[in-house]
Amino acid sequence: MPAGSSLENANSPAVKSLTFCLRAQFVHIQAALTQKSLSAFWTALSMRLYDILVTRLLQNYYISMVGAVKLSRDVEALRSVAMLAGTEHQHWDMLRELLTVYMTPPNALKTILVGPEGDPNSGKGLFGQAGKVQALVFMSRRVDYKVKINNVFQKSTWVLELLEDLGTPDPTDGNVNIALYSAQSLRNKRLKHS
């Protein structure tokens, strides 16, 4: 979304249509299924919506600060409809946290990523919540992550300085395994740590 774009509409047209349709169909689905089946079905639907959104985000889009506001509204709308039934919706909460990397100025990103103490190994910040690689991959989708110099895209100076300060390589220099970002992966990670 270009920086000068309007934020008049609460949601993108696709999300507005999708959430409208899902809400309209929910009553019929609820009437047709037992409570347990409805919960399982709607949880699976929630996870699939999340996976589609995250996969497209990480493969196709670069997010500006203004675009992040619109994306955040879309995520809230999808989360709201996903929570009509079912029990496993924590993936949406994690995504809401990860979206902060698009709304934060570069000079404040370290605090968001590792917590106020600035220790990358503290288990705080997005590194502690989502994982170091996951947080950095989401951050790499910022529109200002790379700049064009002599018709070649290079990492911005702030990116190089931040990665050096964190003492971590850029996980996007190699292949990114999108499967690590699925709702099921987040669920498995959460169950492993509980």
Helical pair 65-82 and 90-98, crossing angle rounded to 10 deg = 170
Q: Which of 80, 92, 72 is nearest to 26 (CA)?
A: 80
| CATH code of the region 13-193 | 1.20.58
Q: What is the pTM of this model?
A: 0.85
Question: Residue 8 has what pLDDT?
Answer: 59
CA–CA dist 1, 115 (Å, integer): 29
Summarize pLDDT for 43-54 with one digit per residue, the tens. 999 999 999 999
Summarize pLDDT for 96-120 with one digit per residue, the tens. 999 999 999 999 999 999 988 887 8
Question: Residue 2 has what pLDDT?
Answer: 43
Q: Stretch 125-135: mean pLDDT, rounded? A: 89
79 touches 92 (CB < 8 A): yes
Question: Residue 24 has what pLDDT?
Answer: 94
CB within 8 A of 63, min separation 6: which ones?
1, 57, 71, 102, 141, 142, 143
